[in-house]
């Protein structure tokens, strides 16, 4: 397939395929690419001369939904292309995650360019073709309305949710799409409004919108209200209901995959953000005897602990330092340590770093890292060497997603399929 890819105003397509050759027409074996060309007649001439079979236009954020002056200008440009050419014209927005692009490349036996080095034009064409295959609007085979689901967050480049939620839809024979809708904070309210108007069945919410989105919804479940955070939204007859499945996912993994009994246990939680909040409230409900919340910003840990008074026998807030943690656990060591910071996370703020010094990990404890990329973080590696048991964040990710799937569809989520799809995507990343 010979594809003409156009970047209008922004380097969306170029960025996604790791191609930094801006501004030049680059005829290749399988791909033609023109950056920033807006002269419709010149483009149509190029299409004819080079025998392109498909046009893909990279559009700025939300342009396909007619938002803003720039969006309308792009749409007018696309309309002119459509009326001037018989070729299919597809819009490329931000729905195609890097994970999907890289998985497509590896499946085709090609190396993704993680460092944004140049891809050869044939590899870029593989990515574009993958995008088209995933997003071409096909009429429903059965005539049944296709469901639309997705995730909002910013950035969303590395989200795995589209991979395993799409696999779940397909395994259940549900016709529909799960998309990644990258949403900068300033567009959150507008995005939520548009998703409601578009009649989507629901969506997941991730960093940094979990707290802010609540005020934009019609209703919150008890657990979303308690946590002050939403990770799942379901559209019930036009009313958007916010829920939170993080705690459920955390506990299921702890019990099923970690084989851990919380009741009566002393626990150390590292971090005091949104995930830590869901973790700490779940541990309190399950009857943990003593919870220490250690955080870089100790004031945040104190605020989290203050809300727990009366739910847990003993709580303590601490700075994330070795001295403070030794003091907190001088009487008895923690049986469970949960990392709720992004330390150690690939692509995160502190890759291959651990939030805890290795000397503080007791032999025989369970060390549970919410980070799932890489599968074995530095914390888990050091825990294993210290004789502790370990649990990574992937099961929790799948279980919180499975709980969301159940809320949206009312169907039992195919957890094994979801886990396998996520594992495969991660394995392809290398």
Ligand X SMILES: NC(=O)c1ccc[n+]([C@@H]2O[C@H](COP(=O)([O-])OP(=O)(O)OC[C@H]3O[C@@H](n4cnc5c(N)ncnc54)[C@H](OP(=O)(O)O)[C@@H]3O)[C@@H](O)[C@H]2O)c1
Catalytic residue among 38, 210, 255, 263: 210
232 makes contact with ligand X (CB under 6 A): no
Residue with tokens 């958007």: 240
Is 262 or 275 the residue whose CB approaches ligand X more closely?
A: 275
* Stretch 201-220 residues interacting with ligand X (CB under 6 A): 207
Q: Report CA torsion sign: 362, 356, 114, 232.
A: positive
What are the backbone angles phi and psi of residue 325, rounded to the nearest 5°?
-75, -35
Pairing state between β 290-295 and 366-369:
unpaired
Residues 24-63 that bind ligand X (CB under 6 A): none
Residue linked to tokens 């997941």: 204
Among 340, 365, 388, 407, which residue interacts with ligand X (rule: CB under 6 A)? 340
Dihedral in degrees, nearest 10, Cα atoms 208, 212, 213, 214? 140
What residues pair up with 232 in beta bridges, in sequence order? 204, 243
Query: Can you read off the two tokens belonging to residue 260?
Result: 């851990």
Instruction: Please identify, using beta-carbon distances, which residue of 81 and 152 lies nearer to ligand X.
Output: 152
Residue 33's DSSP bridge partners are: 5
Closest CA to 340 of 286, 292, 290, 401: 292
Centre a 10 Å sphere on the Cβ of residue 56 and count the other Cβ atoms it contains: 24
Instruction: Between 273 and 414, name the residue whose CB sits nearer to ligand X.
Output: 273
One of 162, 273, 413, 414 touching ligand X (CB under 6 A): 273
By CB under 6 A, tell whether 295 contacts ligand X.
Answer: yes
Q: For residues 150 and 93, give the distance between their C-alpha atoms in angstroms, rounded to a whole number.
A: 14
Q: Can residue 134 be called a binding residue for ligand X (CB under 6 A)?
A: no
| Nearest residue to ligand X, scored by beta-carbon proximity | 273
Residue closer to ligand X (CB basis): 77 or 178: 178
Is residue 267 helix, strand or coil? strand
Site string for ligand X, 85-124 (x = CB under 6 A): ----------------------------------------
Of 104 and 150, nearer to ligand X (C-beta) is 150
Quote the CA–CA distance of 301 and 293 in Å, as a whole number: 6
Q: What Cα–Cα distance (Å) separates residue 426 from each residue in 15, 109, 164, 356?
A: 21, 16, 11, 25
Burial of 69 (0-12, 13-18, 19+ CB in 10 A): exposed
> Contact between 342 and ligand X (CB under 6 A)?
yes
| Cβ–Cβ < 8 Å for 83, 167 | no
Among 276, 325, 336, 422, binds ligand X (CB under 6 A): 276
Smaller CB separation from ligand X, 52 or 160: 160
Number of residues forming the site for ligand X (CB under 6 A): 28
Q: How far is the CB of 246 from ligand X (least distance, A)?
A: 6
Counting DSSP H helices and E strands in the chain, the numbers are 15, 16
Question: Min. distance of Cβ 87 from ligand X in angstroms?
Answer: 41
Residue from 19, 102, 182, 246 that binds ligand X (CB under 6 A)? Answer: 246
Q: Is 210 a catalytic residue?
A: yes
Which of 272, 283, 338, 379 is in the footprint of ligand X by CB under 6 A? 272
CB distance 202 to 404 below 8 Å: yes
Piece of the chain touching ligand X by CB under 6 A; list 117-125, 296-304, 375-383, 411-419: 296-304
Report how far residue 325's alpha carbon sits from residue 294's, in angstroms, rounded to the nearest whole number: 8
Residue 274 in the binding site for ligand X (CB under 6 A): yes
According to the binding rule CB under 6 A, does residue 379 interact with ligand X? no
Q: The sheet that has 266-270: what strands, in order across it?
A: 314-319, 290-295, 266-270, 336-339, 366-369, 389-391
Q: For the CA atoms of the chain, what is the radius of gyration? A: 24
Bridge partners (DSSP) listed for residue 177: 148
C-alpha 192/C-alpha 188 separation (Å) is 6
Subset of residues 400 to 429 that bind ligand X, contact rule: CB under 6 A: 400
CB of 414: closest distance to ligand X in angstroms? Answer: 18
Stretch that binds ligand X, among 110-118, 233-241, 273-281, 357-365 (CB under 6 A): 273-281
C-beta of 130 vs 150, nearer to ligand X: 150
C-beta of 298: minimal distance to ligand X in Å? 8
Near ligand X by CB under 6 A: residue from 8, 125, 275, 383: 275
Least spacing, CB of residue 253 vs ligand X, in Å: 8
Nearer to ligand X by C-beta: 105 or 275?
275
161 scored as a contact of ligand X (CB under 6 A): no
The token duo for 263 is: 């009741």
Any idea which residues carry the catalytic annotation? 210
Q: Which residues bind ligand X (CB under 6 A)?
A: 207, 246, 249, 271-276, 295-297, 300, 340-343, 345, 349-350, 355, 370-372, 393, 396-397, 400
């Amino acid at each position: 397939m010979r594809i003409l890819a156009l970047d209008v105003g922004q380097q969306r397509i170029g960025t996604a395929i790791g191609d930094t050759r801006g501004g030049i027409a680059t005829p290749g074996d399988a791909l033609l690419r023109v950056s920033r060309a807006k002269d419709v007649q010149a483009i149509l001439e190029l299409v004819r001369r080079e025998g392109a079979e498909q046009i893909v236009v990279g559009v700025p954020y939300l342009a396909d939904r007619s938002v803003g002056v720039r969006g309308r200008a792009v749409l007018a440009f696309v309309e002119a292309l459509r009326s001037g050419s018989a070729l299919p014209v597809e819009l490329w927005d931000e729905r195609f995650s890097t994970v999907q692009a890289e998985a497509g490349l590896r499946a085709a036996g090609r190396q993704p360019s993680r460092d944004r080095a140049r891809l050869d034009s044939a590899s870029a064409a593989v990515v574009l073709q993958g995008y088209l295959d995933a997003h071409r609007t096909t009429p429903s085979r059965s005539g049944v309305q296709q469901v639309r689901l997705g995730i909002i967050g910013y950035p969303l480049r590395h989200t795995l949710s589209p991979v395993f939620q799409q696999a779940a839809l397909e395994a259940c024979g549900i016709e529909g799409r799960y998309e990644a809708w990258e949403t900068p904070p300033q567009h959150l309210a507008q995005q939520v409004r548009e998703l409601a108007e578009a009649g989507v069945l629901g969506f997941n919410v991730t960093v940094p919108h979990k707290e802010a989105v609540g005020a934009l919804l019609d209703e919150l479940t008890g657990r979303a209200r308690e946590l002050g955070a939403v990770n799942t939204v379901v559209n019930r007859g036009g009313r958007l209901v916010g829920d939170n499945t993080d705690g459920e996912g955390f506990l299921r993994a702890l019990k099923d995959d970690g084989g851990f009994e919380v009741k009566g246990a002393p626990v150390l939680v590292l971090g005091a953000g949104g995930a830590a909040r869901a973790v700490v409230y779940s541990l309190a409900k399950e009857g943990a005897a003593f919870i220490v919340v250690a955080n870089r910003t100790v004031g945040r840990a104190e605020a989290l602990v203050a809300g727990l008074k009366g739910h847990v026998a003993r709580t303590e807030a601490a700075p994330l330092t070795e001295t403070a943690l030794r003091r907190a656990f001088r009487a008895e060591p923690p049986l469970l340590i949960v990392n709720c910071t992004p330390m150690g996370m690939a692509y995160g703020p502190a890759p291959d770093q651990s939030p805890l010094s290795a000397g503080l990990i007791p032999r025989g404890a369970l060390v549970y890292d919410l980070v799932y990329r890489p599968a074995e973080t530095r914390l888990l590696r050091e825990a294993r060497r210290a004789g502790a048991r370990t649990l990574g964040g992937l099961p929790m990710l799948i279980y919180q997603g499975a709980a969301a799937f159940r809320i949206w569809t009312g169907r039992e989520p195919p957890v094994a399929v979801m886990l396998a799809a996520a594992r495969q995507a991660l394995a392809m990343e290398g």
